Structure 1
Amino acid sequence: MNNFEICIAPLFKNEGGLSNHPLDSGKLTKFGISQRSYPQLNIAALTEVQAKALYKRDFWDANKLDQLPLAVAFEFFDCAVNCGAGTAARILQRALGVADDGIVGAITLAAVNKIHPDKLAKRMLAHRIRFYTKLANWPTFGAGWVNRLANNALWETENV
């Protein structure tokens, strides 16, 4: 089983099913796929198979996650789905102490190889908490985001 196949199940668990919270900027969302990001899709009719294909193409492959260790790839993937790929790249770069330009390139990938993956994943979690607490909708969604990160940390402890 490849890393994408390993990471997709906990991601779907984090994202849940259909949601249309009035304060969620993603608008109608299913399996974490938002109407805002995919306005041409019928989100309500989206299947898990379709969502998985979108995740593979637009989140996993587009961000070269096969080049990252499993724990780091999972944290990046989960962050990209929840916060956007650019934010996920900047969080990874901050955790590495390199320039945070939002692009996973040669410098970022080289830095990843110089740190233990578990340590880097924990740093990414810490930077995500800092990121979330600065958002205007922290009072509404903060508890859910922190629970998501706790679930990630527990999943990584058991599966990576």
Structure 2
Amino acid sequence: MLIETGGDPDGGYNNLASDPGGATRWGVSQRAYPHLDVATLTREQALEIYREYWIQAKCDQLPVAVAVAHFDCAFLSGVVEAARILQRTVGAQVDGRLGPRTFEALRSFLAGRGPEMVAAKLIEARACFIVDLVNEPEKPRERMNLLNLKGWVVRLVRLTAYVSRSTP
């Protein structure tokens, strides 16, 4: 599951000029892990990094569908930004940390909706976040983000399909 949601399922190596993360393999960027040579990163090393994100983002405390959507956001945008997106989605106070109040707001939001709907709302919020990135006023970054837009949209489509397949 983590390989499918976290990074390139084939472990492809990319080094796109438009990617501020620099070189990437299995979705792990050289910028985020400067002490690693991501070009030679193994699947097992990538899995360990995914596990770290999974735990830091508290995905182990979320329903599966919500956890998968939240993990993908945490892996791509950072644990704090993912927490903010989740908090805005469920109507919790936005502080970038998942604590008791956020989990209570999530429980209330889940009532009558179910995890799949909450996951869909998280993915929708991610789409809005991406649109905001592309529309940033800072021109050079806006151009970089626009170059990455197609990949981000494809990722959200695949994530939506994955969440739909992986939930009963």
State TM-score, norm by structure 1: 0.89
- Is residue 31 from structure 1 mapped to residue 26 from structure 2 by the alignment? yes
Q: Tell me the C-alpha RMSD between the 2 structures.
A: 1.6
Match of 2:56 among 55, 62, 86: 62
Instruction: Specify which of 62, 76, 91 is matched with residue 97 of structure 1.
Output: 91
Counterpart for residue 42 of structure 2: 47
Partner residue of 2:121 out of 114, 119, 123: 123
Q: 1:29 to 1:13 in 2, by over 3 A?
A: closer
Measured in 1, the distance between the counterparts of 2:91 and 2:128 equals 15
Partners of 2:41 and 2:120 in 1: how far apart?
A: 33
Residue 71 of structure 2 is aligned to residue 77 of structure 1: yes
CA distance in 2, matches of 1:11, 1:30: 11
Distance 2:11 2:42 in 1: 13
When structure 1 is superposed on structure 2, of 9-18 and 78-87 the one drifting more is 9-18
The percentage of aligned residue pairs carrying the same residue is: 37
- Structure 1 position 123, deviation (Å): 1.0
Paired residues, number = 154
SS state of the match for residue 73, structure 2? helix
Structure 2 residue runs of 5 or longer lacking an equivalent are 134-141
TM-score, normalised on structure 2? Answer: 0.85
SS, match of residue 9 in structure 1: helix
In structure 2, the CA distance between the partners of 1:36 and 1:62, relative to structure 1 (3 Å rule), is same
**CA displacement at 1:16 relative to structure 2:** 4.9
1:144 counterpart residue number: 151
Structure 1 residues without counterparts, runs of 5 or longer: 1-5
Deviation at 1:11, TM superposition (A): 2.9
Tell me, yes or no, if the aligned pair for 1:14 and 1:148 is still in contact at 8 Å: no
The structure that has the greater radius of gyration is 2
> Among 9, 12, 17, which residue is 2:4 paired with?
9
Q: Give the counterpart letter for 1:123 in structure 2.
A: K
Distance in 1 between residues matched to 2:123 and 2:60, nearest whole Å: 20
